[in-house]
């Protein structure tokens, strides 16, 4: 009887698995609205695909009735922010008056969302009012270091570089820690941000004013390369997306060109214990790579919502096989469980690999706030605690 009972339970379990409902997926359906030029595609860009305006696999398919439709992967679930484009932010959607739209918001994993695009940014007629510019929000101690700083390691590409100097810098003789940040468009100024800004300058100014930060720091923020962002923010190629592979050269630019320039022209504390690197999503991936590859340069590493999915096997291989174990470095990991089913587990796997290589547990912070999302507001909120743990404690 026991054997028969076990067989019966096994059969019941198999039937239950076969009958288990598949995870709900969201289908985006755009009803006919603003005209789409022949041969062009409509894409969805959002917090679930790095805000890539032409992300492979996120193009909506045209249908005979004039609508467009895309069923999102089952992993795209929970609250998300997104917009529609025709392949670039210059061809993004606007309201009916050709004015900027706030990010759309929806809870994905709940069936079909039927939406409509009122107008496209590049189709504004001559008589329509110009696009309303977002007001600048950067504080006075943020400046543009260079509009077109040359990246010799990447064939001479040029990039805008931002610089934050702490209040009182010009009047003091003090030397300061330095924090390097990616996606510079989103760090200080909502007028340049494409998905919201981090407000790093406001946060650092407030910490100094409240005496929670005794010294302050310099911040160097490098704009991303737009369509080259995925290439430059991973040293490894993602074969499915056909992206990545230039991250080593990008980090060499930081180490060999940008950091020496900053250390030469500003009063910095150039040692690894006072040099941090931080970023979110793909920026989190490249920050982790930089901290592992050059622990003698970047001794403090902020890894927000890291896109380890992009090259997880290669990331783990780097941790497990690299000869120089960064035992003196500090790593701050941050992500929310709502960012997808693999986000926190992947991050935990990388953390565990670090600990097995001998990085002290006291040098690793691992935060997973329940309300955390893949969005700028989340990273803005969590920036202050991460900065304090990495550079002021």
**pLDDT recorded at residue 122:** 86
At 150-197, the pLDDT tens digits run 999 999 999 999 999 999 999 999 999 999 999 999 999 999 987 789
At 94-131, the pLDDT tens digits run 888 887 777 888 888 878 999 999 999 888 887 666 66
**pLDDT recorded at residue 291:** 98
**pLDDT recorded at residue 21:** 52
H-helix or E-strand containing 355?
A: helix 343-356
Tally of CB atoms within 10 A around 352: 14
Intervals of the chain under pLDDT 50: 1-2, 4-5, 7-9, 11-17, 20
Nearest to 251 by CA among 199, 286, 216: 286
**pLDDT recorded at residue 23:** 60
Tell me the pTM.
0.80
Residues near 29 by beta carbon (within 8 Å), at least 6 away in sequence = 67, 68, 69, 112, 113, 114, 115
**pLDDT recorded at residue 153:** 98
**pLDDT recorded at residue 22:** 55
Query: What is the secondary structure of 32-69 as a DSSP string?
Result: S-S---TT--EEEEETTTTT-TT-TT-EEEE-TTS-EE
């Amino acid at each position: 009887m026991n054997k028969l009972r076990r067989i019966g339970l096994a059969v019941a379990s198999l039937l239950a698995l076969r009958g288990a409902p598949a995870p709900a997926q969201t289908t985006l359906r755009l009803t006919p609205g603003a005209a789409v030029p022949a041969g062009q595609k409509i894409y969805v860009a959002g917090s679930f695909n790095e805000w890539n305006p032409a992300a492979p696999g996120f193009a909506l398919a045209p249908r005979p009735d004039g609508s467009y439709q895309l069923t999102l992967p089952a992993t795209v679930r929970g609250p998300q922010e997104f917009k529609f484009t025709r392949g670039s932010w210059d061809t993004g959607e606007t309201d009916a008056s050709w004015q900027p739209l706030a990010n759309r918001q929806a809870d994905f994993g709940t069936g079909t969302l039927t939406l409509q695009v009122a107008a496209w940014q590049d189709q504004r007629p001559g008589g329509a009012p110009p696009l309303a510019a977002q007001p600048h929000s950067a504080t006075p101690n943020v400046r543009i270091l260079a509009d077109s700083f040359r990246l010799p390691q990447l064939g001479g590409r040029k990039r805008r570089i931002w610089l934050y100097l702490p209040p009182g810098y010009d009047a003091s003789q003090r030397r300061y820690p330095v924090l390097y940040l990616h996606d510079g468009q989103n760090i200080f100024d909502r007028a340049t941000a494409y998905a919201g800004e981090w407000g790093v300058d406001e946060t650092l100014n407030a910490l100094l004013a409240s005496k929670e930060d005794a010294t302050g720091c310099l911040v160097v923020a490098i704009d991303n390369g737009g369509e080259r962002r995925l290439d430059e923010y991973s040293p490894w190629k993602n074969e499915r997306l056909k992206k990545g592979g230039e991250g080593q050269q990008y980090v060499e630019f930081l180490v060999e060109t940008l950091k020496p320039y900053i250390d030469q022209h500003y009063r910095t504390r150039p040692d690894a214990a006072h040099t941090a690197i931080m970023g979110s999503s793909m920026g989190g991936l490249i920050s982790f790579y930089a901290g592992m590859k050059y622990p003698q340069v970047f001794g403090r590493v902020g890894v927000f919502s890291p896109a380890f999915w992009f090259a997880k096997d290669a990331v783990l291989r780097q941790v497990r096989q690299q000869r120089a174990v960064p035992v003196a470095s500090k790593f701050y990991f941050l992500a929310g469980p709502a960012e997808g089913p693999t986000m926190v587990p992947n991050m935990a796997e990388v953390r565990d690999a670090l600990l097995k290589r001998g990085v002290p547990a006291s040098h690793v912070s691992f935060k997973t706030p329940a309300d955390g999302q893949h969005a700028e507001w989340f990273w803005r909120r969590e920036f202050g605690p991460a900065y304090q743990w990495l550079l002021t404690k």
